[in-house]
Chain A
């Protein structure tokens, strides 16, 4: 089964053409990695798939579980099981972290026709998850990401992900800025989510994460296109040789 199928997607932000014909398939059960130089459009791709405002789709399609993803409002995508772990999670002072988790989980459950969790069930669940993520429980009662360290923000994204159990997880550089232990915790969180009816797309700059979460495919995004695809050995090669040898650009194959 195909979870996500992107065809020749071209996306503009303001005046700038950022994605210039991205084509990408993600099968159920797959973990795929997207790598590529800074500014090549990786966050734009995950953003446009999650419904980030300010991005204009010029042409192309994205099909998610057989539906037209780009026609859905952002909240609808989330309720249908698409999850974006942000590269830069925004701080929202005044909105309590644990309340957001609860509202979010209940919005998804309601959409699936499941009963909302009561406060007790929810707290038990979230406490278990927070232990898994080796996070300090006090982070639950702070404003969303408010004053969190870089690593705490990333863990918080994964906490949300493991609570929401998405069908398609888009992780945008969740490994950046993590210490070794945190990387391991985050990787465990991602691995725990792996299942035959889910898919995970990881944007990363580092081979290190891929040692813990072994990808089925590696794609290189450069100049707004996927310029190379391969197995995990492609990531190792990129680590050795950098991106230059791919001679990417508008004319790259």
Chain B
């Protein structure tokens, strides 16, 4: 399928649905302009340096028509829920916020607004809240989401608020029919607030759906955010996400990222350490088996003085799985005393699996401490032999070492029940999972 027909299909889909979208003339105009820019530039492809490992054809083959709206009942969701019973839940189905499936009370100091409602009641406010994506290729899918802006959620956390329970945001792809959904998420965390957010992606059906998420988070001075992100969709879904995070002075953001599902996942994180002493800690793991692909791109910009980054990513590929980690850290001249460390370690379990790792440091000041490293390898034969020499089964030994390889990313998850669930999910993807469980 040529790029032209993809553009034609996007344009046709746009013409077919935007007339019914809320927001009045101003929003209609914004969507038109966004669409014109998408059509003008095209979607990123292999010629874009930051997009060269992605299987673009897998996205191009998806239907760009909107996923038909489905009404889900709570019992359909029950089997996919994480063990976060006390956590207020926010549910988006194919990009649309579902108040009936969500908790009305999101916790003390936390206000949640349905974006679709906001677009019709206060389009000007929505205009201010939703970042307008730029022309950069890395922002192109966010621009596409802007062209179709309709559903999503806005979350505001009051200054100094510290909700006792984490917020559980569940992104459901209904997957009953092929189709594309675009979602917007806007989160504002007030000064000194403490937020724990669990973001969980699941698919209910096996239709080849395409979900496109454009999200942004503003973290005010002195606020702390712990963000756990778990991709667990089935074997057919394609997910694209573009996250913008901006941190003010003395704020702290930590992310625990797990890509354990989906046919294709492309995740962009664009994080700005704008204020002095802002710090981010990013830990991540992707596991790709079968024909899955996970392609992670992170760009962290140090603007403020004495800002800190520590990034620790692991990737495991088996069968014909393909993974990519592309991590760029930019230290701007004003970021004196910045400290950045980045590590990407990757494991290939079978000859046909493929992983690409590209750490990139761009440093524009002398007063900085940076370390980075990327490795791609197989299991250590000396470690394997040691376990075999103790009588362990080869498949068990392999699984043990594979689990050991990613364990520290899992143990970093702050919520114990969630940590156990993620551990189970990872172990469940290994051969001889029952034996490995007896090791836990």
A224 → B minimal CB distance (Å): 22
A residues 176-228 touching B (CB-CB < 8 Å): none
- A66-B404 Cα distance, complex, nearest whole Å: 38
Smallest Cβ-Cβ distance to A91: which chain B residue: B383
Which of A2-10, A97-105, A232-240, A244-252 binds B? A97-105
Cross-chain contact A75 with B388 (CB below 8 angstroms)? yes
- A103-B434 Cα distance, complex, nearest whole Å: 13
Smallest Cβ-Cβ distance to B406: which chain A residue: A94
Please, which residues of chain B bring their CB within 8 A of the CB of A84? Answer: 389
- A53-B384 Cα distance, complex, nearest whole Å: 10
- A145-B44 Cα distance, complex, nearest whole Å: 48
A residues 62-96 touching B (CB-CB < 8 Å): 73-75, 77-79, 83-84, 86, 89-90, 92-96
Please, which residues of chain B bring their CB within 8 A of the CB of A103? Answer: 390, 392, 396, 435, 438-439
Cross-chain contact A92 with B404 (CB below 8 angstroms)? yes
Partner of B393 from A52, A107, A144 at Cβ < 8 Å: A107
- A104-B381 Cα distance, complex, nearest whole Å: 18
Cross-chain contact A52 with B385 (CB below 8 angstroms)? yes
Smallest Cβ-Cβ distance to B435: which chain A residue: A103
B92 at the A/B interface (Cβ < 8 Å)?
no
A160 at the A/B interface (Cβ < 8 Å)?
yes
Cross-chain contact A74 with B389 (CB below 8 angstroms)? yes
Please, which residues of chain A bring their CB within 8 A of the CB of B197? Answer: none
Judged by DSSP, the binding face of B is helix
B126 → A minimal CB distance (Å): 47
Q: A40-60 CB contact bits vs B (8 Å, 1 = yes)?
A: 000000000011111000000
Cross-chain contact A90 with B383 (CB below 8 angstroms)? yes
A31 at the A/B interface (Cβ < 8 Å)?
no
Cross-chain contact B386 with A92 (CB below 8 angstroms)? yes
Partner of B385 from A53, A94, A144, A160 at Cβ < 8 Å: A53
A105 → B minimal CB distance (Å): 8
Partner of B404 from A86, A89, A95, A160 at Cβ < 8 Å: A95
A253 → B minimal CB distance (Å): 34
Please, which residues of chain B bring their CB within 8 A of the CB of A78? Answer: 388-391
Q: B374-407 CB contact bits vs A (8 Å, 1 = yes)?
A: 0000001111111111111110110011011101
Cross-chain contact A96 with B439 (CB below 8 angstroms)? yes
- A53-B386 Cα distance, complex, nearest whole Å: 11
Partner of A54 from B381, B404, B438 at Cβ < 8 Å: B381
A111 at the A/B interface (Cβ < 8 Å)?
yes
Partner of A90 from B386, B391, B392, B393 at Cβ < 8 Å: B386
A65 → B minimal CB distance (Å): 16
B366 at the A/B interface (Cβ < 8 Å)?
no
Please, which residues of chain B bring their CB within 8 A of the CB of A94? Answer: 401, 403-405, 407-408
- Pairs A-B, 6 closest by C-beta atoms: A94-B404, A78-B391, A107-B391, A104-B390, A74-B388, A94-B407
- The residues of B with any CB-CB pair to A shorter than 8 Å are 380-394, 396-397, 400-401, 403-405, 407-408, 435, 438-439
- The residues of A with any CB-CB pair to B shorter than 8 Å are 50-54, 73-75, 77-79, 83-84, 86, 89-90, 92-96, 99-100, 103-104, 107-108, 111, 143-144, 160, 164
25 A-B pairs with CB atoms under 8 Å apart are A50-B389, A51-B388, A53-B381, A73-B388, A75-B392, A75-B393, A75-B394, A78-B389, A83-B389, A89-B386, A90-B383, A94-B401, A94-B404, A95-B387, A95-B439, A96-B439, A99-B439, A100-B392, A103-B390, A103-B396, A103-B439, A104-B390, A107-B392, A164-B390, A164-B391
